[in-house]
Amino acid sequence: MSKEIQYPYTLSSVLLESLTSMGIEYLFGVAGSAERDFFDTLARDEYRGKITFIQGNSEYPAARMSLGYARASERVSPLILHVQYGPANAALAVLDAYVSKIPLLIFTVGHISTANDYREALYGYSRTPELLQEYSKHVYRIVDTSNVDKIIKRALRLSETLPSGPVFLTVSQDIIEAPVSKKRLKKTNNYSPSASEDIIHHSVEVLKKANKPAIITHITRNKASVYALVELAEKIGAAVFETWPRGMNFPTSHPLHQGYLTDKASMMKQYLSSCDVILTLDCARAPWMDPPIIDSAFYIQVSDNPLAFNEDADIKIFSSTESFLKSILRNLKETNLSSERIDILRSRHEAIRKKWMSMLKVKFDDDPPYSQRVWFEINRLFNGGREYIVFFAPGFTQRLPLLRYLERDVPGCYYRALTSAMGSAGEAIGVQLADKRRVICVLGDFEAHVAQLPTLLWTCAHHNIPVVWIVMDNATGATVKRSFWAYGKYMRDEGTFIGIDLDAPRTDWIKIAEANSVKAIRCEHTEELKKSIEKTLAITGPVLLSIATQTSYKSA
C-alpha cells in the first residue's frame, strides 16, 4: 500500500502545499497535541527538504522569529500556534506585525470539536478567534473543508496585499483531521497599488522645478526600492533624511544621506525649514516619528496605507514605495540639476560625520567601554553590510551611537525592532534564515531577559543557526533608569531605583550560553574589545559575546 493511500489528505496537506508552492522554506511555532495532524503531515517524506519547521519553545519568541523571516525574505511567513494560549502569548509580536504591515499567516487548532462547541466556552476555546481580532487584517474560523483550498489561498493573498499584515486562521481538531478532496492549486499574481499617470506627471513637474528638495524615509521594504530611491535622490539632488530607520533604507555612507529626525546633530528640522519640496515615503507610524510639516514647502506624501495620510500634504499618493519610485524615474527625464547642490550636501554629510567622530573620541578609551566604542568596533568589521547584517534589539541608550557609527552601504544589512516594545531579539533568527550574510544581534542585558534569550540560544543550537549574539552587559535597564533619573525626584536624589537593576544576582550570560551548547566569550576591558569581536566572528556556529559596558545613565 502506497503512503498516499495509507495517510489521508487533509487540511494540513492543503496548507503545506500552498506554502511550498510559494517557495516558503521555513515555518515557525510551537508543537502542540491539538495540532497533531499538521505535524504528522509535515513529517512525511514529500515535505522533507521543501519546508523546515523552526522550533521555538515558547510562542512569543517563535512569533518574533517568523516576523524576522517575513521582513528579510520579503514574503509572507507562516506561524503555527498552540490552542488558545498560543495566540495570547504571541499577541505583542502580532501587534507589531499589524502596525508595521508585516505579512504573517497565523494558524492554530483553537477548538477540540465542532460537536462540542457549546461546552468549549467553559475552557475559553470559543473565544480563540477573538484573541487576535484587533491585531489582524483578517480572522477566520474554518468550520468545514469544502472550500479549504480557497480559504487558505485567500488568507495568503490578504496577508500580502498592501498594506500587508497578519492573517489568523483557526480550526477545530476534528475538521483538520478529516480527509478532504485533493484539488489543483492555482497560482495567481498579486499587484501592489500604484498612482495614476496624472498624479505621477504632477509630481514629476514639482520635483523638476524644486530648488531645494528633500526626501524623508522611514520604511523601505525591499532592495529594489532602495536602489530606486538612491537613483531618484541623485537625479534631483535631494537631501535624504531618515526618521527612525528599522530595515532596508538609504545608505548612510552616501553623501546625500543627511542624518535622522531623532538626532539633533543632523539638524533635520532646521534644514527642512528652507526646503521648497518635501517628499515623504511611507513615514507616518507614530506621532513622535512624524516628519515636521513645513508650511512653505510643497509636501508630497506616498504611502500604501490610506489611514496614514496627513491632511496637510499637497499631494497624497496611495501607492507602494517601489511602484511610485519606478514610475517617477520612468517619467523623470532631463533635469537642470546643479552640481553645486550635490557638493553642498556632500560637505554637510562630511561635517556631520566629523562631528560624530569627535564626540566618540571624548570617551574613546574609557574602561569598560561605552556603547559608542562598541558600535565603532563593530563597524570596523561590518564592511558596510556586505558580509554581515546587524539586528538591533531595543536599547535606547545605544540608539544614537548605532546610527552614528554603523555605516550601512548595502540594502538589507540593518534591522531594528519594529516598535519600542522590548523582546524583539528573536527576529534575528528569522532574518538569518532568510539571508546568507551572518546576522549580528546586539542587545542590552535587560532586553536579553525580556526576549527570553536562553530559549533563542537553544533554537540556534538545535538548528545550527549561526547568529552572533552580543549582549551589552551593564546589569541595569539603562533606558528606564535614564527616564527615572531625568524625572529628577526622589529616586534621582537618593540614587535608589526600583525595578531596573540586574546585579543581585548578576546574570552570567556565558554560563547560560554554554548550558544551551552555544560557545561564549566574555570581554571586560576596552583594549580587548576589537580582538574579542574578531574572535567571536571567527566562530562558525551560533556564538555569544558578553561585553561589560558602562553603567552610567547620566551620560546616556
Per-residue model confidence (pLDDT) at position 122: 52
- Boundaries of every domain in the chain: 3-176, 197-347, 363-548
Averaged over 286-295, what is the pLDDT?
62
Q: Report pLDDT digits (tens) over 332-348.
A: 876 656 677 888 888 88
Bond preceding residue 368 cis, omega within 30 of 0 = yes
- The span from the first CA to the last CA of the chain, in angstroms, equals 69
The arithmetic mean of pLDDT across residues 235-260, rounded, is: 86
Q: Are 468 and 536 in contact (CB under 8 A)?
A: yes
| pLDDT at residue 494, as a whole number | 83
Distance of alpha carbon 80 from alpha carbon 73, whole angstroms: 18
Which SS3 state, helix, strand or coil, does residue 267 take?
coil
* Percent of the chain surpassing pLDDT 70: 90
Q: Which of 230, 227, 340, 222 is nearest to 282 (CA)?
A: 222
Q: What is the pLDDT of residue 5?
A: 57
Q: Quick one: fold of 197-347?
A: Rossmann fold (3.40.50)
Which positions ≥6 away from 555 have C-beta within 8 Å?
370
Residue 167, Cβ density class (10 Å: 0-12 exposed, 13-18 middle, ≥19 buried): buried
What pLDDT is attached to residue 221? 73
Q: How confident is the model at residue 34 (pLDDT cuts 50, 70, 90)?
A: confident
* Predicted pLDDT at 288: 47
Residue of 364, 450, 375, 444 whose CA lies nearest to 406: 375
pLDDT, tens digit (0-9, with 9 covering 90-100), for 92-112:
999 999 988 899 999 998 766
- The CA-atom distances, in angstroms, between 199 and each of 151, 327, 361 are 36, 10, 49
What CATH number does the domain located at 3-176 have? 3.40.50.970
Q: Which pairs count as long-range contacts for 480-489, CB under 8 Å and 24+ apart, including other chains?
A: 480/446, 481/553, 482/396, 482/397, 482/553, 482/556, 485/553, 485/554
Is the pLDDT reported for residue 358 higher than 90? no
Alpha-carbon distance of 215 to 234, in angstroms, equals 11
- What is 363-548's CATH number? 3.40.50.970
35-50: average pLDDT? 91
> How far is the C-alpha of 58 from the C-alpha of 296, rounded, in Å?
52
| pLDDT on residue 192 | 75
259/321 Cα distance (integer angstroms)? 20
* Of the listed ranges 182-191, 291-300, 464-473, the one predicted with least confidence: 182-191
Listed range (108-112, 201-205, 243-247, 290-294) with the worst mean pLDDT: 290-294
Mean pLDDT of 363-385: 87
What's the pLDDT at 86? 86
Confidence grade of residue 532 (pLDDT, cut at 50, 70, 90): very high
538: region left, alpha or beta (phi > 0 left; psi from -120 to 50 alpha) = alpha
Cα distances (angstroms) measured from residue 312 to each of 153, 171, 214, 293, 493: 39, 45, 17, 8, 45
User: Higher-confidence residue: 313 or 294?
Assistant: 313
Confidence of residue 290 (pLDDT cuts 50, 70, 90): low
pLDDT tens string 122-168: 555 667 778 888 899 999 988 888 889 899 999 999 999 888 999 99
Decide if 3-176 and 363-548 have a common fold. yes
Distances from the Cα of 85 to the Cαs of 35, 58, 131, 418, 472, in angstroms? 13, 10, 9, 24, 32
Q: What confidence category does residue 396 fall into, taking pLDDT thresholds of 50, 70 and 90? A: low
pLDDT of residue 529: 94
Stated pTM of the model = 0.90
Q: Is the pLDDT of residue 555 over 70?
A: no
- Whether the pLDDT of residue 384 is over 80: the answer is yes
What is each CA distance from 377 to 248, 386, 393, 395, in whole angstroms?
A: 22, 16, 18, 18
Lookup: cell for 195: 498612482
- Whether residue 291 has pLDDT greater than 70: no
- Position 116 scores a pLDDT of 64
- Which strand (E) or helix (H) includes residue 543? strand 543-548
Inform me whether the pLDDT recorded for 479 exceeds 70. yes
- Helix, coil or strand: residue 219: coil
Run of H or E residues at 69: helix 59-73
Q: When comparing pLDDT for 458 and 307, which is higher? A: 458
Residues in CB range of 118: below 8 A, 6 or more apart: none
Strand locations in 422-518, DSSP E? 438-444, 468-473
Is residue 62 scored above 90 in pLDDT? yes
Give the pLDDT of residue 264. 78
Region label for 150, one of left (φ > 0), alpha (ψ between -120 and 50) or beta (otherwise): alpha
Residue 383 has pLDDT above 70, yes or no: yes
Q: Look at residue 113 and tell me whether its pLDDT is greater than 80.
A: no
Classify burial at 270, counting beta carbons within 10 Å of its beta carbon; exposed 0-12, middle 13-18, buried 19 or more: exposed
**Which run of H or of E encompasses 279?**
strand 277-281
Confidence check: pLDDT of 66 > 50: yes
d(CA 369, CA 293): 39
The set of residues, in sequence order, having a beta carbon less than 8 Å from that of 49 and lying 6+ positions away, is none
**How does residue 1 score in pLDDT terms, banded at 50, 70 and 90?**
very low
Mean residue pLDDT across the chain: 86
pLDDT of residue 554: 45
The predicted pLDDT at position 492 comes to 84
Distance between CA atoms of residues 546 and 440, nearest Å: 13
285 in Cβ contact with 261 (< 8 Å): no
> What is the spatial distance between Cα 35 and Cα 81, in angstroms, rounded to a whole number?
9
Q: Are 332 and 207 in contact (CB under 8 A)?
A: yes
Q: Above 90 in pLDDT, residue 433?
A: yes
User: Across residues 37-65, what is the average pLDDT?
Assistant: 93
